[in-house]
A and B are shown apart, each in its own frame.
Chain A
Amino acid sequence: MITETFRILEVNLSSGRSTIRSIPGVATYLGGSGLAAKLHLDYAKPELAWDDPAQPLIFTIGPLTGYFPLMSKTVCAFTSPLHGQYAESHAGGRSALALRFAGLDALVIIGRSERPTVLHLGANIIEFMDAGYLWGKDALATGKLLRSILKGSGHRTIMRIGAAGENKSAMACINVDTYRHFGRLGGGGVMGAKHLKAIVVEGNNSLDQPEGKQYPALYKDIFRRLTDTDMMRKYHNLGTASNLEALNELKALPWRNLQATSDPGIEGITGERFADDTLLRNAACAGCPVGCIHIGFVREKFHRDNRYVYRQVGYDYEPIFATGSMLGLTQAPQVLTVMDEVEKAGLDVMSGGVALAWATEALEKGVVTTEQTGIDLRFGEVQGYLKAVHMLAGAENEFWKILAAGTMAAANHYGGADFACVLGQEMAGYATGEVFYVAQSLGLRHSHLDTGAYTYDQSNAPKDVDKALAFLLEDERDRVILTSMVACLFARKVYDPETLRQCLTVLGGSELADNLDEAGTFLQKLRWQARAAGGFDPMTVKIPKRFMEVSTWKGQADPEYLENLRLAYAKAIIEMSRGEDKN
Chain B
Amino acid sequence: MKQLVAIRMDRCIGCHSCSLACARVVHKCLSWENAGIRILSSGGLSTGFLAKVCLACNPAPCAAACPTGSLKQRKGGGVTQLKKLCIQCGKCVAACPVDAIAQDRQDRPYVCIHCGSCVEFCPHDCLEMVEVQA
Interface residues of A (CB under 8 A from B): 66-67, 69, 97, 100-101, 123-124, 143-144, 147, 153-155, 177-179, 203-209, 211, 215-216, 219, 223, 227, 281-291, 293, 295, 312
Contact = CB atoms under 8 A, between A and B. Distances in A.
B68 interface: no
A282 B40 CA distance: 16
Contacts of A67: 30
B43 A147 contact: yes
B17 interface: yes
Contacts of B17: 69, 223, 287, 289
Contacts of A101: 31-33
B24 A204 contact: no
Given A177-B45, A204-B105, A284 B34 contact: no
A178 B30 contact: no
Given A208-B30, A291-B123, A286 B40 contact: no
B29 to A, nearest CB: 5
A403 B31 CA distance: 44
Q: Interface size bucket, B side? A: 20 to 34
Contacts of B31: 101, 205-207
Contacts of A178: 44-46
Contact of B44 (A147, A219, A287, A289): A147
A144 B44 contact: yes
B84 interface: no
B17 to A, nearest CB: 5
B16 interface: yes
Contact of A283 (B13, B29, B30, B33): B13
B33 A208 contact: no
A215 B46 CA distance: 34
Interface in B22-55: 23-25, 28-34, 38-41, 43-46, 48-49
A207 B20 CA distance: 11
A153 B40 contact: yes
Contacts of B34: 206
Contact of A216 (B25, B40, B104): B25
Contacts of B43: 147
Given A147-B43, A153-B41, A178-B46, A223 B121 contact: yes
A219 B24 contact: yes
A291 B45 contact: no
B38 A208 contact: no
A11 to B, nearest CB: 21
Contact of A285 (B15, B23, B29, B105): B15
Closest 7 CB pairs of A and B: A206-B31, A154-B40, A284-B15, A291-B13, A289-B123, A284-B13, A207-B30
Given A144-B44, A227-B123, A206 B104 contact: yes
B90 interface: no
B16 A97 contact: yes
Contact of A154 (B23, B29, B41, B104): B41
B11 to A, nearest CB: 8
A154 B43 CA distance: 9
9 contacts: A124-B105, A143-B44, A154-B41, A204-B33, A209-B24, A216-B24, A284-B13, A291-B123, A293-B13
A172 to B, nearest CB: 21
